[in-house]
Structure 1
């Protein structure tokens, strides 16, 4: 017969959702086992017995001592080894009775009353964290994730913007509270609030900056100010930083709020430039190392990236988590007329071969450009469209003129998502000739729409695409191999149809955001649970 249940100065009743704190006749609050040794302070008892229970020098978190039943000495209760929180999550009892002869005081309080009633910090922390863990495990508390990113729609520089946008929205759908802090953008409000998702845009510069690095510093200062304001209204549980550009705010917030930091490394400075050659590149590389060092876990999008960051930043393997990028098929819709768009860009009914990406050496647009004369030598009824802007755009246009193919090429520069999606729908082939590609979201988007994808055999592409089954790979920088693969795709309709069908099936099975957001949520929970068991 159970008579009393006491442990750690806190008992949480499942049904009443109240906390029971107990006080012995000698005036001491009940600690993990209540065994205060000679000349030992209550705080020391809590620390010592937590160490005995967990093997770690921590504040008592995951369980607050063992359950104790006051019963005849000959009786061994079957639940004796169960923890207080575990027991009370399982029990259906409405209350726990206290044996008056043992305890001078034993009453139920709500959380705030109990927290205020305790007199020393160790027990306050035990109560706070034990109760928080209880709420999370029972889905009564939403994890509050603070996401830091320098780009977010409508500000789109690369794939990072779409990644954070889709991830944050799908986490919010799965009952995670997400607060995104990002850089301001024209014609959008500084704050937007949706169900479980808030987007805060901060001024991109407080004063004029003389270079990109100083601009980033100033942006991070604005982010820190906004983050502290958000945290003062609702405490942040997890900080999630995307790439090196938000490292300064991530580091400051981690240590000031004392909350776990998770980072996602979307690409590395070494990989983008195929080496480190300048002082600025060296600085960025060092900041990337710093971010991964400070992070509880480091997320990467592919096995290839896992090996890259492990080698570049000397990371232990168990610190790196591989979570692929995903797509939301809803984002690929367009309200433009597909046939009209096709007639504008290919008025002579040519086959459209589409490139989408930044005009940067990393994306390899020049290799597709140089493959065009080889393709035209065999097949003339084609049009090549290059979508995107960047430092190479002008030189690529000049090279197209030099190669005599300007009539067969269109350079759109920057276009909005509506037209971009329309061009994806009109394309007959999508080509991605990157020389460095951690993942390649746009390739997934093309595959989801049933477009044959030709991509270089590098990084994430070689993991997403199974050559000849759901896409086609070519040797990076090899314009002859690329040209042959384009010609093959244009002239083997039956085989290509099988590839297209397989591609659609793969994307729907492995790369939709609902699944990836759930895996990210699980990671958040595991990290936060580990954090609650530390003394930080």
Structure 2
């Protein structure tokens, strides 16, 4: 099959070697697309990725065996989303005759391009809907964009799709958009590549290389530093924790437009010596942060799946999350982690404090996490997705 993936951003990584080819690695949506494309290429399909360039680079074509990446010049950004006029129009006039159009309905404009391509060339449209957009923060442009998306754009794109995929069965009934089209929605989980998370260094060696405290418990957050991930709630929880337990350190791995506010908040709460902000890091370094840590925390107010929870599980970390329904496919209360009331820093702080102080429970939960993670492989995800494609060819 000739499979086209339409995604507004895509990692700068060589699919053959997995080596970084640029500074952009991306978040959940981008890495899901990358791994799915990689697996489809391994299964013998011709894979085409239509995306934007980063940092205003010119249009480019990257060829890696049977995987071809078309990157179109990024004209400007709205929030974290690169906007490319080339991505909107140029694929519509290409001579590539796709069998499957797979839209990643994260940020616009790529999903619009997929919609128009499928409509113009009469091709089946598969859409992965990752999550509802969070209202109430960001620039005026973003707020207008969210209003338009919720008002009619999302419903048009989803209604036009032959089938809609979403990472969690739990999410279907709780999404304002998916609940309207339940009959055409299929749950296909995200996955992880376990080989990526195997490293030869122990916890102590990883900490030395990263410059982390050797004698403290490390609390880890990995993800974009944006309001929907609620890193501010974790900082507030940290102020409660250090009043009772000082031998701990919080590490934020990731970048985002919220970082200045978070650093100011940490300073105001006199937590600077207890918190490290790494900014963007390459995958190899990210894996070392996982292996350096004792507890993984994700206090998001909105998520479509939470792939970092799988990554943390693969590294044997206990999980503490907000009580979003989508996390129930990964977190088992009291077995591999704990849920906390969404947005409640006191509940979050108390759960973290309990695990910091009870090593036996912490280690048992970590072992259960690692065992459970084995159910989520990209090979299994790709096989399930391929079977869906074959229904429409």
Regarding TM over 0.5, the answer is yes
The answer on whether the counterparts of 1:247 and 1:287 sit within 8 Å (CA) in structure 2 is no
Equivalent position of 1:315 in the other structure: 180
Equivalent position of 1:479 in the other structure: 345
Equivalent position of 1:144 in the other structure: 2
Alignment of 1:204 with 2:74, yes or no, is yes
Equivalent position of 2:17 in the other structure: none
Q: Distance in 2 between matches of 1:387 and 1:442?
A: 11
Unaligned runs of 5+ in 1: 1-142, 529-536
The answer on whether the counterparts of 1:334 and 1:418 sit within 8 Å (CA) in structure 2 is no
Equivalent position of 2:87 in the other structure: 219
Equivalent position of 1:191 in the other structure: 61
Q: Distance in 1 between matches of 2:243 and 2:77?
A: 49
- For the aligned residues, what is the CA RMSD? 2.7
Return closer, same or farther for 1:190/1:392 CA change in 2, 3 Å cut-off.
same
User: Which secondary structure does the structure 1 equivalent of 2:392 belong to?
Assistant: helix
The answer on whether the counterparts of 2:192 and 2:311 sit within 8 Å (CA) in structure 1 is yes
User: Which secondary structure does the structure 1 equivalent of 2:109 belong to?
Assistant: helix
The answer on whether the counterparts of 1:384 and 1:409 sit within 8 Å (CA) in structure 2 is yes
Equivalent pairs counted in the alignment come to: 374
Equivalent position of 2:220 in the other structure: 354
Q: C-alpha deviations, 1:429-466, integer Å up to 9, x for none?
A: 11111111111001110001101111111132122111
Instruction: Give the TM-score of the pair, scaled to structure 2.
Output: 0.87
Q: Distance in 2 between matches of 1:222 and 1:525?
A: 27
Q: CA deviation at 1:358?
A: 1.4
Return closer, same or farther for 1:204/1:460 CA change in 2, 3 Å cut-off.
same
Matches within 5 A, 1:128-277: 143-154=1-12, 155-185=24-54, 190-205=60-75, 215-225=83-93, 228-229=94-95, 231=96, 235-243=97-105, 244-270=108-134
Return closer, same or farther for 1:183/1:331 CA change in 2, 3 Å cut-off.
farther
Q: Distance in 2 between matches of 1:473 and 1:188?
A: 45
User: Which secondary structure does the structure 2 equivalent of 1:447 belong to?
Assistant: helix
Equivalent position of 2:148 in the other structure: 283
Q: Distance in 2 between matches of 1:476 and 1:313?
A: 22
Q: Distance in 1 between matches of 2:323 and 2:78?
A: 35
1:328 to 177, 189, 193: 193
Equivalent position of 1:18 in the other structure: none
**Bigger RCO (CA 8 Å, 6+ sep):** 2
User: Which secondary structure does the structure 2 equivalent of 1:327 belong to?
Assistant: coil
Q: C-alpha deviations, 1:393-427, integer Å up to 9, x for none?
A: 11111111111111111112222222211111111
Q: Distance in 2 between matches of 1:362 and 1:214?
A: 19
Return closer, same or farther for 1:461/1:214 CA change in 2, 3 Å cut-off.
closer
Q: CA deviation at 1:150?
A: 1.3
Q: Distance in 1 between matches of 2:310 and 2:58?
A: 28
* Higher share of residues assigned strand: 2
User: Which secondary structure does the structure 2 equivalent of 1:527 belong to?
Assistant: coil
Moved over 4 A (4+): 186-189, 209-214, 270-274, 333-338
Unaligned runs of 5+ in 2: 13-23
